[in-house]
Each structure stands twice: as structure tokens, then as C-alpha cells.
């Protein structure tokens, strides 16, 4: 990126997730060309069980972005009543398929399927969501592993407005396995003081008021108002809530964007903030997985005693 773009993106109070994700995607496209030049075609397998309409939209967007950057994708659409066994055997075959370097099983899975069991079945080196316990553990130890896409996207957005987060107080609202907990781990790694707030926390408003960096990931439309936010705070809104208003549906975050605007130093919009970054980081993880698997295979040629990835 040139310095002019950098300046525009860094000085605007609105953190433009669409523009920043476009930069990530162009870096990824460059990495894809480099892999192709080495005879490797990165490929992402996307597994969708059932017909959840939101999941269908997300999966469609992921496939479009993959195509944009030259990542091949294979889609596996399974019916709502697929057995756990069938899903596990599909994952097993994708694990063994050397042409597939990334496996994404879209969440949530239908009731009756054990989500943890399914995520644990994915080979960690192909786990582009970063949800396998081996990657979760590695993240918490500060090792270089595949990281969950939404939190790593948020970190990338934060870096645009704040090059050094060291010593800042970051408050994360929400303790989900896919956003809140890994977000806290990444902020800690960036030397923030981290507070993880959840539904049982007392006086959530006062905790939020302490934040230099406030990350909202609770799924409650426009819960965070101006008097929850310290003047000069940086706000990252992970929420994607569909609300009915005047007969039409619109997307809002967990933060009341218009209400907090005057107080904040910088803020991500919804849509166009964290959402597009999540998808860009998925593409970045797919390329990283392909690079790592290629490196392992090359090593095997030298040392035949090693296991294949």
C-alpha cells in the first residue's frame, strides 16, 4: 500500500474495513501467485450443513472472495439431517486430500451434531478457522499458529489506528470461543491490559468506560451507548444484528454508532467493518496453511521419515 492510502485510512475516524480488507486480499493474491509459481494451487474446502439463510450468505461471500484472489474452492453442501458420522467421514477425506489445504465447517451446525467433536476432527494444519484445540492452545501460548479470522481481522483493523497498543486497557465484551476469548488472547499478546466482560459481570457499563480499546462481541443491537465509552476510545464492533425498523430490515452492530461517534477516536462501522475483514483473514489463513503444508512436503522429500501434513 502507498503512504497516501495509509494516511487516508489512518486519519479517518471511521475505520474502513472494506478498504483494509481489500489491501489484505491484494497481499493474499500476490502470495497465491507465488505459490502457483512453485506448483501449488491453494484450495479451500467449505462445508455447509443445512439451509440457515445467514450461513448461506456468508458461505457465498467466502467463495466469491476466494475466486477473487485465485484460491480454488470446493463446496460440500450437506442436508440438515446429516449424521455426525457422515460429516466426520467427509472431514477425514478432506484431511487426507493433499489438494485441499484449508477446511472450513460453517457454524452453527444443526442440533444433534457435536460441534467440538467436528472441529477437533479437522487436521490442525488445515484448520483455517483456528478453532481446533491445538491452535487454540497454541494461540494462548503465543505460538505462531492459524488464528481465528474475526479476532485476527480486528487486530489488523486496530493496527491501522494504533501502531503500539502496549499498556492500553482493552475491554472485550463477550466471551465466545470464536471471538471474545481469542480476541482477549491476541490483545494480551499485543501487551494490552485485558478485561473480559460477560453476562455475569457486575457493572458492565463502568468496565466499558475504562476501555482505551473497546471490542463489542455480544450480539445485542446497539447496546453500547455514548455514556459507556471513554472519550478518545477506539471501538471495534463485531456485532452483526438484523433489526426491523419502519418495515425494513437493517444491519446494526452492538454499538450505537451515531450515539458514540462524537466521543470516539476511531470506530468500525457495521456493515463494512469487521465482517469483510473476517473473510479476508480466512483467505490469508488459507494461503498460510498452503505455505506451511508445502514447506512440510518439501521437507519430506529430504527426510522421508517425517509424517505428511
Ligand X SMILES: Nc1nc(=O)c2c([nH]1)NC[C@@H]1CN(c3ccc(C(=O)N[C@@H](CCC(=O)O)C(=O)O)cc3)C=[N+]21
Candidate residues 105, 192, 208, 223; the one interacting with ligand X per rule CB under 6 A: 105
Task: State which residue, 213 or 283, has the beta carbon closest to ligand X.
Answer: 283
240 labelled as ligand-binding? Answer: yes
CB of 242 to ligand X, least distance (A): 8
308 labelled as ligand-binding? Answer: no
> Can you tell me the distance from the alpha carbon of 309 to that of 306, in angstroms, rounded to the nearest whole number?
9
Name the residues annotated as catalytic: 62, 106, 129
CB of 198 to ligand X, least distance (A): 19
The DSSP line for 200-269 is T-S-HHHHHHT-SEEEE-S--TT-B-GGGS-TT-EEEE---EEEEETTEEEEE-SB-HHHHTTT-SEE--
**Roughly what angle, to the nearest 10 degrees, separates helices 3-11 and 17-37?**
140
Q: What does 124 interact with, of ligand X, Mg ion, none (CB < 5 to 8 A by kind)?
A: none
Tell me the HSE value of 309 on the side-chain side, using a 13 A CA sphere.
23
CB contact at 8 A, 78 and 86: yes
Task: State which residue, 179 or 187, has the beta carbon closest to ligand X.
Answer: 179
User: Maximum Cα–Cα distance for the chain, whole Å?
Assistant: 66
174 labelled as ligand-binding? Answer: yes
Name which of residues 265 to 294 contact ligand X (CB under 6 A): 270-272, 275-276, 278-279
Task: State which residue, 212 or 237, has the beta carbon closest to ligand X.
Answer: 237
For residue 162, give the 3-state DSSP assignment: coil
Q: Is 61 a binder of ligand X (CB under 6 A)?
A: yes
176 labelled as ligand-binding? Answer: yes
Task: Please give the annotated binding residues for NADP(+), written as ranges.
Answer: 174-176, 240
Interaction site with Mg ion (CB under 5 A): 270-271, 273-275
Amino acid at each position: 500500500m502507498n503512504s497516501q492510502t495509509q494516511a487516508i485510512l489512518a486519519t479517518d475516524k471511521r475505520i474502513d474495513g472494506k478498504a483494509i480488507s481489500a489491501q489484505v486480499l491484494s497481499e493474499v493474491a500476490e502470495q497465491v501467485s507465488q505459490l502457483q509459481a512453485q506448483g501449488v494451487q491453494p484450495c479451500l474446502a467449505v462445508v455447509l450443513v443445512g439451509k440457515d439463510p445467514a450461513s448461506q450468505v456468508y458461505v457465498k461471500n467466502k467463495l466469491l472472495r476466494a475466486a477473487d484472489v485465485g484460491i480454488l474452492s470446493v463446496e460440500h453442501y450437506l442436508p440438515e439431517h446429516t449424521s455426525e458420522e457422515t460429516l466426520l467421514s467427509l472431514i477425514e477425506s478432506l484431511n487426507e486430500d493433499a489438494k485441499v489445504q484449508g477446511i472450513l465447517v460453517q457454524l452453527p451446525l444443526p442440533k444433534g451434531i457435536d460441534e467440538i467433536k467436528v472441529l477437533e476432527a479437522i487436521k490442525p494444519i488445515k484448520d483455517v478457522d483456528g478453532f481446533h484445540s491445538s491452535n487454540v492452545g497454541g494461540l494462548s501460548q503465543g505460538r505462531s499458529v492459524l488464528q481465528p479470522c474475526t479476532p485476527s481481522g480486528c487486530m489488523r483493523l486496530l493496527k491501522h489506528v494504533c501502531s503500539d497498543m502496549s499498556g492500553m486497557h482493552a475491554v472485550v465484551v463477550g466471551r465466545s470461543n470464536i471471538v471474545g476469548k481469542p480476541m482477549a488472547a491476541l490483545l494480551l499478546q499485543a501487551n494490552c491490559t485485558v478485561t473480559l466482560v460477560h453476562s455475569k459481570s457486575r457493572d458492565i457499563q463502568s468496565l466499558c468506560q475504562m476501555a482505551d480499546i473497546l471490542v463489542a462481541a455480544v450480539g445485542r443491537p446497539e447496546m453500547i451507548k455514548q455514556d459507556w465509552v471513554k472519550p478518545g476510545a477506539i471501538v471495534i464492533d463485531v456485532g452483526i444484528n438484523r433489526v426491523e425498523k419502519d418495515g425494513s430490515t437493517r444491519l446494526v452492530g452492538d454499538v450505537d454508532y451515531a450515539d458514540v461517534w462524537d466521543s470516539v477516536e476511531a470506530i468500525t462501522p457495521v456493515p463494512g467493518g469487521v465482517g469483510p475483514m473476517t473473510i479476508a483473514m480466512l483467505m490469508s489463513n488459507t494461503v498460510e496453511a498452503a505455505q506451511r503444508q508445502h514447506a512440510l512436503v518439501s521437507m519430506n522429500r529430504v527426510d522421508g521419515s517425517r509424517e505428511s501434513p
